[in-house]
Each structure stands twice: as structure tokens, then as C-alpha cells.
Amino acid sequence: MDYKNTKAASTTVTYDKNKIEAPTNNIYEAITIIAKRAEQISGDLKSELIEKLEEFATYTDSLDEVFENKEQIEVSKFYEKLPKPTAIAVEEWLEGKIYYRNPEVDTQE
């Protein structure tokens, strides 16, 4: 998924509790689903960042390292400016983009 084009807030936002619990009618279940999605997003972003930073890895010390560090800093700053994984997960939840199911409810039906 492309997390760079998300509309999630990059600052602290107060969300309406009723909107968050509306799909499940249970605030705790909704928060658990959002938390699991945030962990997935965090892992994706971390692996993507590590992959990009490995391009700058040098195994010898040289004077060129200063210039490579500038590029590395730019990449790091870009990822620091992205919204937090929890904000992205909440935005996805409110837009109905997260698929979830409850096995207990599925077996009762």
C-alpha cells in the first residue's frame, strides 16, 4: 500500500468515539483491530526504510561518506514526516478500508 499519499493527520487529532466503534459496536474490538493494522503498517514502513538505507551502506571508510550521509539524512527525514502508523490505521478504519472478521460471530451463525 502507498502510505505516502495518505490523508491521515500528521499531528494529534481527537476522534469521535462513536465513529470509531460504529462498524463493530464495540470500542475495544475496534481499537484492537486498529492496533493490529498499525503494527502491520509499522512493519511495512520499517522494512521499506531499511531497504532504502541499505543502498547507502558503505563497507569502507572514506571522505565520500559525508555526501552519502546527506542523502541518507534526506531519506530519514522523509520517513519522519510521514504520519504515524496509528494515524494511518485510524484513517483507514474510518474510511472502511480495513477488512476484519470475528471468528466467534462467524461460528455462531
pLDDT of 105 above 80: no
Eight-class DSSP state of 10: S
Residue 47: CB partners within 8 Å, gap ≥ 6?
A: none
Q: What whole-number distance in Å separates Cα of residue 77 and Cα of residue 83?
A: 12
Amino acid 35: pLDDT: 96
| Residue 104: inside a domain | no
What average pLDDT does range 37-54 have in this prediction?
91
Q: Indicate the pLDDT class of residue 66, thresholds 50, 70 and 90.
A: low
| Residue 78: inside a domain | yes
Domain range for 32? 15-98
Other CB atoms within 10 A of residue 6 CB: 17
Average pLDDT, the chain: 84
| Residue 108: inside a domain | no
pTM: 0.80
Residue 4: CB partners within 8 Å, gap ≥ 6?
A: 82
Rounded to the nearest 10 degrees, the angle between the axes of helix 85-94 and helix 27-54 is 130
What's the length of the chain?
109
